[in-house]
A and B are shown apart, each in its own frame.
Chain A
Amino acid sequence: DSGVTQTPKHLITATGQRVTLRCSPRSGDLSVYWYQQSLDQGLQFLIQYYNGEERAKGNILERFSAQQFPDLHSELNLSSLELGDSALYFCASTPGTVPTGELFFGEGSRLTVL
């Protein structure tokens, strides 16, 4: 158990809909990362937050947004969903003090768009 909690574990929705994925980082970790994993693209970095502020951005679509709250949990919002958004979405956390490359991943949220 990495200590990172993601909900929901599975989500099935329809095209055009909006969903919110939630992540609770490890106790004390200030950085939260979101990654998307699909069969053809592998793990793709979406966005990072550090202590409530956006720290780095990857190829995140404009239909997607995220935030980190004062209690350090994070949410990833996906809107106007398309079939191609079906994927596993992972959250990871780190202390955020000294970059080590050791990310602690949650078990992911599997999104299926029908």
Chain B
Amino acid sequence: EDQVTQSPEALRLQEGESSSLNCSYTVSGLRGLFWYRQDPGKGPEFLFTLYSAGEEKEKERLKATLTKKESFLHIPAPKPEDSATYLCAVQGWGTQGGSEKLVFGKGMKLTVNP
């Protein structure tokens, strides 16, 4: 069964204090690993897709990397507006044909203080 574990569950940073969020996964053949951002009272919003080990993606102040067992979301210079819950999800090749079913981790709540 595909599984995703995110750590830490919550993180408080000062503005500009760099950090990395960890996502560990087990999947029967990785089709893709995805990062989403969720603001309070909102639905998750797509950030990145990573397909293979060694791949890196950047978007604004965020950078995502992927290894064979983990993904990291690096936040080198966070701002208060980066405060949100960050969700990691995987999709395996064993997924029912044509389905885009994602298996999500429980998320990591990031708070960035000014």
Contacts and interface: CB of A to CB of B under 8 A. Distances in A.
B107 interface: yes
A42 B38 CA distance: 12
Contact of B91 (A90, A92, A101, A108): A101
Secondary structure of the B contact surface, majority rule: loop
Contacts of B101: 33, 45, 48, 56, 58
Contact of B100 (A42, A43, A100, A107): A100
Interface in B77-95: 87, 89, 91, 95
Contacts of B44: 43, 90, 103, 105
Interface residues of B, number: 25
A106 B41 CA distance: 10
Interface size of A as a range: 20 to 34
Contacts of A96: 98, 100
10 contacts: A2-B45, A42-B105, A42-B106, A96-B98, A101-B31, A103-B102, A105-B45, A106-B43, A107-B41, A108-B43
6 shortest A-B CB distances, which residue pairs? A105-B43, A56-B99, A42-B106, A43-B104, A56-B96, A99-B100
